[in-house]
């Protein structure tokens, strides 16, 4: 009887690495075109690992980010709040001496909140939320970081200097020379983080700077894509394929360590693909959307958007509008935490919606604003989308029938225009003006646009 009793007791012992709280992995691509991954329909760029992630998870067909360019999107994603509530409405200048140019220290982050729930928290990749030491990731809730702190970085190792894209990388507050192709380094660091913290809940914010400029692809990957005639697109495509390979490397690590099923994975781009030189000359493809990076049309803010959690979510698609704000609320709810009462999140816990437990749409209305009060706006309510660009007349589109925003219905449906303009006015009461100016190149672009708008 004794051997049988021992065997029974062994069966009652939980697995060594069992944990009830899910890991949280947020993967962000930088300047990725809406139609430049396989699961969105792309034919000339291979993304097999992202395609498998999409096949095993939920593809959100109306997925958005909070801004049409880099830093404001990241500020909203990491706080779970509209960035206009705390004045982070543009990219900060790279000013290490400035305590103003960065995400205000009054805001708490998802890393802060999950650390309180016993999570190990890590950042790998692009930060772009301020250059002063008070804005450093280790001061914003992260236990570990391996990062390019600015708005972009070179991809190949080279001589370092004080220029933003040539700064040394940052490992836990100390400079570290770049040793390899940057996307590969970020992939390796992400794998090491997941393996290092196996057995305890962790949060990893993996923010690739790929495929943001400079367009620098490994020569061997570039050579594989000779069928792409446009050399800029070929470089861009190769950069995406390297990013996809590194995402695949991380997913394989999660599989081999038994962590995949209980890891919530979010994937988005920080904005739409840039249309440099116009749609026909650009190296990105936002088909079938109008516009791209910097625009308040769909091409600027509607992005490839995936959610995967094999333990809870069945594969499929979800067609109601969702937004990167929702990552915060979703993660906190699944970790068993509660949001900061002084700074409640604007997002929604997506899990009941994605599982079908809730038939209600996650959001009644979504808002976008750039250049402060009186600047550029967009609002979506149901299938209605209103765009108002400064002093120009408001535009109205029915996204259910016109995803490309080709037919302005403002003149035909003035009552919808009035309703959405009123919604913007109500929402704007909870916002503030930008707390810092954009970088010089953006200020020049904005001034040029305003001059064109003048009658």
Take residue 422 and report the two structure tokens written for it: 């009123």
Angle between helical axes of 182-196 and 231-256 (0-180°, round to 10) = 10
- Tell me which DSSP letter residue 130 carries: B
Task: Give Cβ neighbours of residue 160 (< 8 Å, ≥ 6 apart).
Answer: 166, 167, 168, 177, 178
Name the catalytic one among 67, 88, 128, 197. Answer: 128
Take residue 128 and report the two structure tokens written for it: 């772009």
- Backbone phi and psi for residue 3, each to the nearest 5 degrees, phi listed first: -60, -35
Q: Residues 48, 229: contact at Cβ < 8 Å?
A: no
Closest CA to 380 of 342, 412, 419: 419
Name the catalytic one among 42, 60, 70, 191. Answer: 70
SS3 174: strand
Take residue 89 and report the two structure tokens written for it: 């409405």
Active site residue 145: no
Q: Residues 259, 199: contact at Cβ < 8 Å?
A: no
Active site residue 70: yes
157 by Cβ neighbours in 10 Å (0-12 / 13-18 / 19+) ranks as: middle
Catalytic residue numbers?
70, 128
């Amino acid at each position: 009887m004794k051997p049988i009793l021992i065997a029974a007791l062994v069966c009652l012992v939980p697995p060594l690495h069992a944990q009830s709280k899910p890991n949280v992995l947020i993967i962000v691509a930088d300047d990725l075109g809406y139609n430049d991954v396989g699961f969105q329909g792309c034919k000339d760029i291979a993304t097999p690992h992202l395609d498998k992630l999409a096949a095993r998870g939920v593809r959100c067909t109306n997925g958005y980010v909070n801004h049409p360019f880099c830093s404001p999107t990241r500020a909203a994603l990491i706080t779970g709040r509209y960035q206009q509530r705390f004045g982070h409405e543009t990219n900060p200048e790279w000013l290490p001496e400035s305590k103003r140019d960065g995400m205000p220290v009054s805001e708490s982050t998802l890393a802060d909140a999950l650390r309180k729930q016993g999570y190990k928290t890590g950042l790998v990749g692009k930060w772009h939320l301020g250059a002063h030491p008070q804005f450093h990731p280790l001061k914003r809730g992260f236990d570990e970081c391996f990062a390019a702190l600015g708005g972009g970085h070179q991809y190949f190792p080279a001589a370092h200097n004080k220029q933003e894209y040539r700064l040394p990388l940052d490992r836990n507050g100390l400079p570290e020379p770049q040793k390899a192709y940057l996307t590969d380094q970020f992939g390796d660091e992400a794998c090491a983080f997941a393996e290092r913290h196996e057995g305890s809940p962790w949060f990893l914010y993996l923010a690739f700077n790929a495929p943001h400029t400079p367009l620098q692809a490994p020569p061997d990957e570039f050579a594989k894509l000779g069928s792409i005639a446009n050399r800029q697109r070929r470089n861009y495509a190769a950069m995406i394929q390297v990013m996809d390979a590194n995402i695949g490397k991380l997913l394989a690590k999660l599989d081999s360590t038994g962590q995949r099923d209980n890891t919530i994975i979010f994937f988005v781009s920080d904005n739409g693909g840039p249309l440099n030189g116009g749609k026909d000359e650009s190296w990105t493809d936002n088909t079938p959307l109008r516009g791209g990076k910097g625009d308040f049309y769909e091409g600027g803010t509607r992005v490839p958007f995936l959610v995967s959690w094999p333990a809870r979510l069945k594969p499929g698609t979800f067609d109601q509008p969702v937004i990167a704000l929702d990552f915060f609320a979703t993660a906190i709810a699944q970790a068993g935490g509660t949001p900061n009462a002084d700074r409640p999140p604007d997002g929604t816990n997506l899990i009941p919606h994605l599982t079908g437990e809730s038939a209600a749409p996650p959001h009644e209305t979504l808002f976008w604003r750039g250049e402060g009060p009186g600047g550029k706006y967009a609002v979506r309510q149901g299938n209605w989308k209103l765009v108002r660009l400064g002093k120009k007349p408001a535009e109205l589109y029915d996204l259910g029938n016109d995803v490309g925003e080709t037919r302005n219905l403002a003149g035909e449906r003035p009552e919808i225009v009035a309703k959405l303009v009123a919604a913007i006015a109500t929402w704007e009461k909870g916002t503030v003006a930008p707390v810092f100016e954009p970088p010089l190149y953006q200020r020049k672009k904005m001034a040029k646009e305003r001059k064109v708008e003048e009658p």
